[in-house]
Structure formats: C-alpha cells, structure tokens
Amino acid sequence: MSALYGGERHIYLVGGLQEDQYFNRIDRFNIDTQQFTSVGALPFRLAYPCVHFHNDTIYIVSGSISGNVQRDLISFNVKTHAVDVIVKDIIDQSSASCFDGQDNIYILNSKSFIRYSLSNKQITELSQSPKFEIFRTMVWTILNDDNDYLKTRQIFGASLISN
C-alpha cells in the first residue's frame, strides 16, 4: 500500500498487499474526522506503487501486479473515478519517481532518467544517473550547498539539485 497527502485534509491509500493478496482499492482518510471512506478502485490489483497527487488526480508510477512490474503511468481522478493510462511502458524493471509540486513527474529507471510534463504531456530524457539495482524512493527538493545535512545521497535514490 502507498499513502499520499492530497492537500487540505485528506490522505489517500492506494493498492496494497496482505498475505499474498493484492488490492485495487483507493481509500481516503479524513484528518479532521479520523474516518476512512472508499474513493474507488483501480481496474487491477497493485502493491508498492509510487503515487503523486495534483489537481484532484492521483498519478501512479510503477508498482507490482502479482509480482510483475506495472509499467504504465496511470491517473485516477478522485472526483470522477476515471482511470487513464497516460503513457504505456514508461517503466522498466525497477523505478522510483517524484513530483515537483508544479507540473513534472520525474521517473528514474535502471536504464533512463526522464521528466514527464503533465501540462504538455512531453517526455524529456535527462542525464543518466549512477547505476543501482533497486530504487525505492526519490525526493524532490531544492537545497543550497550549505543546508544539505547528508554526507551522501547514494542509498536514498534522491536527486540533489543545487542553486
């Protein structure tokens, strides 16, 4: 299961895996009322996706479908429940992603590092990252040279973008 903050007062839970059973549910937790509600369902069961929220839409990158990699960039609108495949086969065997909070989803694969623009739907190939076998997380942040508290970012899979 993956969780993400949807702004205002909601946390969304996407997919999940328990005792070899994959789930397709999307649930919402209201921070004020402390209540869970079902928002909808994906057309497939999914565990461990990278998820991002923007303009009432959950963007789903990667994840596992019964042990196989989910390779598409998918959107789920929390108001209309519409599910769309935005880009097919954008993911390879292992990936991580992050959202810049504005317009871009960055996806790091074992073979490429790309930026997908939500507004113009274009994919831009970025510089190749160092090789790693498994990607788990990626964080979008802007750091100055004097405020990076980590000596190395190697195990974090994060991009360091300096001013």
24-33, 63-72, 101-110: segment of lowest average pLDDT? 63-72
Fold of 2-129: Neuraminidase (2.120.10)
Residue 65 three-state SS: strand
Q: Is the pLDDT of residue 28 over 90?
A: yes
Q: How confident is the model at residue 137 (pLDDT cuts 50, 70, 90)?
A: low
Give 70-111 pLDDT, tens digit per residue. Answer: 788 999 999 999 999 998 888 776 678 889 889 999 988 877
* Strand residues in 10-163 grouped as ranges (E): 10-14, 17-18, 21-30, 35-46, 50-54, 57-61, 64-65, 68-69, 73-77, 83-87, 95-99, 104-109, 113-117, 123-125, 142-143, 161-162
Percent above pLDDT 70 for the chain: 77
Is 50 exceeded by the pLDDT of residue 153? no
Mean pLDDT of 16-30: 92
Q: Where are the domains of the chain?
A: 2-129
All residues at 6 or more sequence positions from 2 whose CB lies less than 8 Å from its CB, including other chains: 13, 14, 15, 48, 49, 50, 51, 63
pTM of the model: 0.79
